[in-house]
Amino acid sequence: MSEKTTIYDIAKKLKISAATVSRALNNNPKISESTCKLVQETAAKMNYKQNRLALALKSGKSGNIGVIVPRINTNFFGTIIRGIEEELHTNKYNVIICQTHEDENREIENITTLLDAQVDGIMISVTNVSKNNEKIIKSVLNKKVPLIFFDRKKNIDGVSSVTIDDFNGGYIATKHLIDQGCKRIAHLSGDQALEIYENRFKGYQQALLDNSIEFNESYVIRSKSSLEDGAIATTKLLALSPAPDAIFSASDFAALGAIQELKANGIKIPQDFCVVGFGNEPFTKFMELSISTVDQSPLEMGNMVAKVFLEQINHIENFKMEKKIVLNPILHVRKSSSRKDV
């Protein structure tokens, strides 16, 4: 295996100093344009590769950004990552993606690994069970590494966040069901220990209150974001007397599970029962019975997270420049709840 080409090899070939080669490779203004071009062309011919770690140690910047998500196999988080990459790529940053799989210990390990890799910033959507991670988060701040929450956040002074107005999302989804004539509206809730699900539930409650519909605690069932949990929850709801005539689900996947269970019981949607989900997953639009859902604008969210980072990294003297950006949710009305159009 041949040895790697070094700046000394290039200097020897061109009969100039290694210092001049180094400056030319980094487009130092003290080196003439012709010399820079000659050095860079020679380096390319000799298959010279710059040592990124050495450059990071020298400049204090690695050009790498860490993005931590619960999982990447969902359209929502995948699209957020796409939005982040689109914005950062034009600014010559690379993205390192980590998954927590809803494991807090793994989340802490991810943060530690990214700090050891000397990333220039960390963007994170916290796990469902994040309770003991404030110490590691504060260590990020102590190192003056920009940290930005997105979608799921913790309320920590000095940390910026980009989220959606989950309260309003829950409100407009429930108000739409009321406008369709639904009177007994159930809610499939995520884990309300997580702020996003708590706020969706509060929006649901407020819409009922504002429209003089009595809140029925038995109509609220905690459900994971899965078809199976949505179906199980719907079975429980149908056993109630009186049974609900609508479901607002905090998850599109649980909403789909609910629809499958309703169909299995011969219930007509939306004539007899309306369903609204949350997330605007791709399948909601393309099903024969398309699903009404609240759009979380993940691409815009990803773009905005990257912009907040760039603003912070470019004004590092004002490091604790906390920004709280809240995006507006959009309700897409489709067949699963369009009772008045049937």
Question: For position 219, which CATH number holds?
Answer: 3.40.50.2300
Q: 242: cis peptide before it, omega within 30°?
A: yes
Q: Are residues 241 and 137 in the same domain?
A: no
Using a cut of 0.85, tell me whether the model's pTM lies above it: no
Q: Are residues 259 and 131 in the same domain?
A: no
Note whether residue 95 is domain-resident.
yes
The pLDDT of residue 201 is above 90: yes
Handedness of CA 173, 178, 181, 183 (dihedral sign): positive
Q: What is the mean pLDDT of residues 188-206?
A: 92
The pLDDT of residue 244 is above 90: yes
pLDDT of 268: 95
The pLDDT of residue 207 is above 50: yes
Note whether residue 38 is domain-resident.
yes
Task: Please name the residue that has the structure tokens 């884990």.
Answer: 191
Q: Are residues 104 and 227 in the same domain?
A: no
**Model confidence at 280, in pLDDT bands (50, 70, 90)?**
very high
Q: What is the mean pLDDT of residues 126-147?
A: 77
Q: What is the mean pLDDT of residues 135-158?
A: 84
Q: What is the domain range of residue 122? A: 63-163+299-325
Q: Are residues 95 and 75 in the same domain?
A: yes
Q: List the CATH number of the domain containing 23.
A: 1.10.260.40
The pLDDT of residue 169 is above 80: yes
From CA 265, how far away is CA 239, in angstroms rounded?
Answer: 12
pLDDT of 132: 65
Q: What is the mean pLDDT of residues 117-126?
A: 90
Note whether residue 57 is domain-resident.
no
The pLDDT of residue 324 is above 70: yes
The pLDDT of residue 57 is above 60: no
Q: What is the mean pLDDT of residues 54-58?
A: 56
Average pLDDT of the chain, as a whole number: 88
Q: Are residues 22 and 70 in the same domain?
A: no
Note whether residue 214 is domain-resident.
yes
Q: Are residues 225 and 336 in the same domain?
A: yes
pLDDT of 53: 54
Task: Say what the alpha-carbon torsion angle 132, 133, 134, 139 is, to the nearest 10 degrees.
Answer: 140
Note whether residue 308 is domain-resident.
yes
* E strands present in the chain: 64-69, 94-99, 121-124, 147-150, 160-164, 185-189, 220-222, 246-249, 274-279, 292-295, 324-327, 330-332
Alpha carbons within 13 A on the beta-carbon side of 34: 0
Task: Take residue 70 and report the two structure tokens written for it.
Answer: 């619960």
Burial 123-132 (b: 16+ CB within 10 A, else e): bbbbbbbbee
- Give backbone dihedrals phi and psi of 301, rounded to 5 degrees, phi first: -60, -45
255 and 230 in contact (C-beta within 8 Å)?
yes
Q: Are residues 173 and 128 in the same domain?
A: no
Q: Are residues 43 and 140 in the same domain?
A: no
Alpha carbons within 13 A on the beta-carbon side of 169: 30
Q: How many domains does the structure of the chain reveal? A: 3
The pLDDT of residue 224 is above 70: yes
pLDDT of 4: 80
